[in-house]
Amino acid sequence: MISFRWLSACLLLASVTSVNAQHFALSRLFYPNVTLKADYAVPSSLNGTQDFGMTRTGFLGIIPVQSEVQLGYSLKKKFDLRAVHTVMLAQYNQIQPTIDGKNNPENGYKTLSLGVIRLQASIKDRLWVYGGGLGITETNETFFSPQPFFWGGAARMHILGLRTQIMYGSVLTYNQKLRFVPVLGVNKGLGKHWRASALLPFMANVNYKATKWFNVDMLAGLNGYSGGFQVQTPEEKKLMRENYRHIKTGISANAHLFTALNISLEAGVSTFRQLRTFNSARQNLSSENPAVTPYIGASVRYITSRSKLSSKFTRRMGLGQSGINW
């Protein structure tokens, strides 16, 4: 499994962030933190005779590894002051689809991925965001046929005042198929309590900050998974592929408690769903469209440490506070 939304979210973390409760927050990149998450899609009609449901659990960890200011001198005999900040990301997910309430081992998937994001700001080149990562996905039934995936991208970010940022760039991904996707990001403060954020074509979010410790998100995002599984017949074992995608729309409530904890509860519906099975030659074997279904989710994020300087910087630049994101 690899989440389509997560591929883009890794790059978006520089200005707006995701993984289910979708309040975007640049400040997450400045603090070591780990998020535990789970969501459940209620079973709904798959083909008129069967039901399809899905449960996902996992974690996302963010670890800053470099933060420094560098002084450079170009060939044009001009000085340039550059600040760089680099973080590592680690993610693990376990996905268990169910058919008619049955969760056979060959229906479940697990994934492990590692990535790096680098923010680079300078007088000459302004603000750039670079990112890349790789991982593997594997069916629960086997351990010896992992499917690799990778992503990489770059984006230019412009800060238009204290409450507005835009970002544009592109992401190159490979997950059974190579894709090149142009992206456009927007992060805009609307009054004292509202903020609108988006990374098109992947996600959009409107956040309402009720108090310093409580905020609400209205969100929409593309999500899904791809994985491999084996079908064993009397004649042979055949390695198959499965691709699932949907668009989620919902609302989440996010609470910041005890300085170090963020708790989020989310609910909504999943629509525009497609479940496709194909073989190693990418020949389509079946395509199904599960019905629209409600889902619920929850996450807990633990912030291991804080920097007063980073908090002051992100707050004054209007880049978003540390909401629940996964």
What tens digit of pLDDT does each residue of 81-121 get? 767 788 899 999 999 998 887 776 667 888 999 999 888 87
What tens digit of pLDDT does each residue of 222-237 get? 888 888 777 777 777 7
Do residues 281 and 304 lie in contact, with contact meaning Cβ atoms separated by under 8 Å? Answer: no
Q: Which two structure tokens, joined as six digits, stand for 151?
A: 């992503």
Q: What is the pLDDT of residue 17?
A: 35
**CA-wise closest residue to 46 among 115, 5, 101:** 101
Confirm whether 325 is domain-assigned: no
What tens digit of pLDDT does each residue of 256-283 get? 888 788 899 999 999 999 999 888 777 8
Q: Which two structure tokens, joined as six digits, stand for 320?
A: 């978003």
Confirm whether 244 is domain-assigned: yes
Could you give the number of structural domains in the chain? 1
Question: How crowded is residue 299: how many other Cβ atoms within 10 Å of its Cβ?
Answer: 25
Q: Domain range holding 210?
A: 4-317
Q: Which residues pair with 277 in a beta bridge?
A: 242, 286
- Looking at residue 148, what DSSP letter applies? E
CATH number at residue 188: 2.40.230
Q: What is the pLDDT of residue 124?
A: 64
Q: What is the pLDDT of residue 64?
A: 83
Q: What is the pLDDT of residue 58?
A: 94
Confirm whether 322 is domain-assigned: no
Q: What is the pLDDT of residue 317?
A: 44
Confirm whether 326 is domain-assigned: no
Confirm whether 249 is domain-assigned: yes
* Residue ranges in the chain whose pLDDT is less than 70: 1-30, 67, 69-80, 82, 104-106, 123-125, 305-326
Q: What is the pLDDT of residue 72?
A: 64
Cα 123–29–181 angle (5° rounding)? 80
Cα 50–226–178 angle (5° rounding)? 140
Confirm whether 58 is domain-assigned: yes
Confirm whether 92 is domain-assigned: yes
Confirm whether 302 is domain-assigned: yes
